[in-house]
Structure 1
């Protein structure tokens, strides 16, 4: 009986322990946070389609705001400044959300989509699988996996999107000179 009570107590205590983000997610967040204040410029690298909305547009990622738990990266496509990537660090792991706003600051109808980092990343790259909020908001995006990567050697910031495990979009940006 005493052994059973000890086992039950152990199970209950285990259930109360918060899940801690893997070390590579914490390292990635720290690396990304070290870019705060920097601005990156670049272009779409995929798809190679002149009809794509982002084709021929200057892309700008501005690491505008960083705190201990959140990094906000303003992402402009040409003159369109409606997007912000929000990376949040919590006990559950890293969360990437896409915050879309109208020019007056009100939320777009399609905003706050993204997902949690999965176990495919490392200290310099993380993959974020679509969460249920995204699947409910944009059913076609239920299989989305976004990837953010920073290569400290080349100083290239890469944003990548796959859907149904197939390439959908990629951009590469370098520090503004």
Structure 2
């Protein structure tokens, strides 16, 4: 009788340990995704805090991120730069982690030739920080577009209770926008290519 109880306890402990070990590889990514998902329907103002190669048209523009469209496995987050609504970040769960894509549209809704680039997580990351090194599709797209320096791109996103950050880094280049999560703003119109 006692042997059965001991065996049952050992088996239960092993099962719990195995479940914990298996869940640890997705735990940080799931927490990160869920933290963003919790902001669904809200918009936040941001500002460029680092840009070592200014001139991308962000100066003196109102910057708004809008966690607009959310499902259990995909988030669409338009990034409005003044009146330009061409940019949407798409974060998706995959069997291997998280994917980030940049959906770029023209005002008529048609897709820009430089669109759907991004990357995929290579490790667990942290609940607050995920990194997305450029994937092969993006590298080929950058080479074809004549901007091979971008093949070294890594995009990072940070989420804390008071701040969300979008960051691009590569050799010799850093761009960062911080958004204030403590003060939601009015939600903007739909991004180009999307409907209200």
For Structure 1 versus Structure 2, the TM-score category normalised by the shorter chain is 0.7 to 0.9
Matched, 1:57 2:44: no
Q: For CA contacts below 8 A with separation 6 or more, give which structure has more relative contact order.
A: 2
Gaps of 5+ in 2: 1-23, 143-147, 186-196
Q: Indicate how the Cα distance of structure 1 residues 115 and 51 shifts in structure 2: closer, same or farther if over 3 A, else same.
A: closer
Task: Looking at secondary structure, tell me which structure has more strand per residue.
Answer: 1
> TM-score if structure 1 supplies the norm length?
0.81
Once the two structures are TM-superposed, the CA of residue 113 in structure 1 deviates from its matched residue by 0.3
Q: Indicate how the Cα distance of structure 1 residues 161 and 50 shifts in structure 2: closer, same or farther if over 3 A, else same.
A: closer
Q: Indicate how the Cα distance of structure 1 residues 134 and 171 shifts in structure 2: closer, same or farther if over 3 A, else same.
A: same
Gaps of 5+ in 1: 1-19
Matched, 1:118 2:122: yes
Q: Deviations over 1:116-160 (max 9, x none)?
A: 0132720011010100011000132211110111111xx111000
Distance 1:99 1:127 in 2: 18
Once the two structures are TM-superposed, the CA of residue 23 in structure 1 deviates from its matched residue by 1.8
Q: Could you say which residue in structure 1 is the equivalent of 2:151?
A: 142
Q: Indicate how the Cα distance of structure 1 residues 120 and 24 shifts in structure 2: closer, same or farther if over 3 A, else same.
A: closer
Once the two structures are TM-superposed, the CA of residue 60 in structure 1 deviates from its matched residue by 0.5
Secondary structure class of the residue paired with 1:30: helix
Task: Looking at secondary structure, tell me which structure has more helix per residue.
Answer: 2
Once the two structures are TM-superposed, the CA of residue 22 in structure 1 deviates from its matched residue by 2.7
Q: Indicate how the Cα distance of structure 1 residues 22 and 52 shifts in structure 2: closer, same or farther if over 3 A, else same.
A: same
Q: 1:142-161 alignment to 2 at 5 Å?
A: 142-152=151-161, 155-161=162-168
Q: 1:1-177 alignment to 2 at 5 Å?
A: 22-47=26-51, 51-119=55-123, 121-138=125-142, 139-152=148-161, 155-164=162-171, 166-175=172-181, 176-177=184-185
Distance 2:100 2:93 in 1: 9
Once the two structures are TM-superposed, the CA of residue 31 in structure 1 deviates from its matched residue by 1.1
Aligned residues: 155
Structure 1 contact 144–162 (Cα < 8 Å) conserved: yes
| Root mean square deviation, CA, Å | 1.8
